[in-house]
Amino acid sequence: MSNLSKGQDLGLHFMNNVYQSTYTNPAKMNKHRINVTLPALNINFAHTGPTIGSMLMQDVDGNYYIDTNSGISKLKDNNYIRLDGAIETIGAGLRFGKYQVGFSHSLRTFNSFKYTKQLAEVIFNGNAQYVGETVNVAPALNVSVYSEFKLNGAYQINDQLSVGLGIKYLSGIGNVSTSKDELSIYTDPEYYQITATTDYEVNSAGEGFALDIYNDGDSVNVQFNDYFSEVNGGNLLFGRNTGIAFDLGAVYQLGKIRIEAALTDIGSINWKSNARNFTSQGTYTFDGIDGNPILFEEDSFDFSEVLDTLVDVLGFQSTENTYKTSLNSQYYLSGSYQIKDGLDVGVLLQGALVAEKFRPAIALSCQKRFGNIFSLGAVYSMRNKSFTNLGLNFVLKLGPIQLYGASDNMLSVFLPYNSKNTHFRMGMNVALGKKKEKEAIIDLE
């Protein structure tokens, strides 16, 4: 079983004057009677390894170059790259009395890649350094595209407490992921033959893309098949793979103190359309990859040839087989304090599973509202072993129109080569009919 996840959206959790903050906690009650969410974009990137800036060196002539060995020396045994995003198409929220209901749709993609330090060393420096040794070079990946249809409901129990529930119908468009990722190689010190020991499994399914590994009689081929036009008629909203997920949350208000707790993305997708399973299990000995670096050697290296050789020698067996990928459940626990009217400070503990590893984050927030027209927030966070994340967010209300934007790491805009995280969100809402004060006991404000 592999996993998918959305971006963490630490700053969004504190943006209580936009309906999108219910994405981190469905129990948040909005101050407007009617909210229409228009198309929005959300992008999140993270890498646990070194930044480009930490590998950038300068020679005696003043020319800059990337020192890959310096970067490799900074790697952990296991390293992770994550890129996910969402196009939020349209939605609506309605509040009446103690109740709030809402609906939204978004097209989401999640991509994660795990690689070992030894894999990077073999790619950039060859396997000669590991003659007579066994090294782990198994990568793990998850590439997914799916549609999310969400129905959200919240109920204000009393003056202090509100609870919420979100139900999501998931329509899987495409997935390629590893469910087993054991692959080690041993280089014989006398004959330089490579012995690979594997317990490796790749799953593929969906209309959007599907992996195919086949032998045409002359060579082994690895390719992605395009099913958009041939199978699904280009339909990006409804795939043939389905799943269900849930969000749960609660908000407790005690005077100027506000405490929130939420669990989101509790669920999974069942992949059955064009579902294939590719398995390699055993020990294989072969020649074909020398001990020189396999990159930047145009005359001696052909990646497609090496890939075909590996697939052929490792004896991948293909079967039709349905499988499941779980969404990475995310956890939110926050507290905030109203210093004075229009000025709040808060702290958030957040966690998510990425590539089957728990990824915690801590965020400190300060939000300032300037009347009903403009609000500005700042968020400092510690995540992905990075401690230089400073985010900003804003909401501008022009009549019924709300314009909003957020980034959990604005430093990545000004220092892109020295950042491990990049995130931004932007969109527009139509907000109508502000609730009366006596009804707005646990409002998003």
Greater confidence, 239 or 393? 393
For residue range 184-235, list pLDDT tens digits in order: 988 888 777 888 899 999 999 986 555 555 544 444 444 555 444 444 444 5
Asked if residue 66 lies in contact with residue 50, where contact means CB atoms within 8 angstroms, the answer is no
Spatial distance between the Cα atoms of 409 and 388, rounded to a whole number of angstroms: 8
For residue range 9-56, list pLDDT tens digits in order: 899 999 999 999 999 999 999 989 999 999 999 999 888 888 888 888
Binning the chain into helix, strand and coil, the percentages to the nearest 5 are: 10, 60, 30
Mean pLDDT of the chain: 83
> Does residue 327 carry a pLDDT above 80?
yes
State residue 435's pLDDT score.
65
Structural domain spans, the chain: 2-56+65-434
- Give the other-Cβ count within 10 Å of 370's Cβ: 9
Of the candidates 31, 33, 36, 34, the residue with the CA atom closest to the CA atom of residue 17: 31
Residues 390, 336, 20, 34, CA torsion sign: negative
- What CATH number has the domain spanning 2-56+65-434? 2.40.160
Phi, psi of 121 (to 5 degrees): -65, -40
Q: What is the mean pLDDT of residues 308-336?
A: 83
State residue 213's pLDDT score.
54
State residue 307's pLDDT score.
52
Q: What is the mean pLDDT of residues 331-335?
A: 96
Asked if residue 208 lies in contact with residue 145, where contact means CB atoms within 8 angstroms, the answer is yes
| pTM (2 d.p.) | 0.84
Asked if residue 393 lies in contact with residue 408, where contact means CB atoms within 8 angstroms, the answer is no
For residue range 340-361, list pLDDT tens digits in order: 999 999 999 998 866 566 778 9
Asked if residue 333 lies in contact with residue 351, where contact means CB atoms within 8 angstroms, the answer is no
Asked if residue 423 lies in contact with residue 43, where contact means CB atoms within 8 angstroms, the answer is yes
Spatial distance between the Cα atoms of 335 and 136, rounded to a whole number of angstroms: 43
State residue 25's pLDDT score.
96
Q: Copy the structure tokens of residue 111.
A: 């991509």
Q: Copy the structure tokens of residue 143.
A: 């590439």
pLDDT band (50, 70, 90) for residue 419: confident
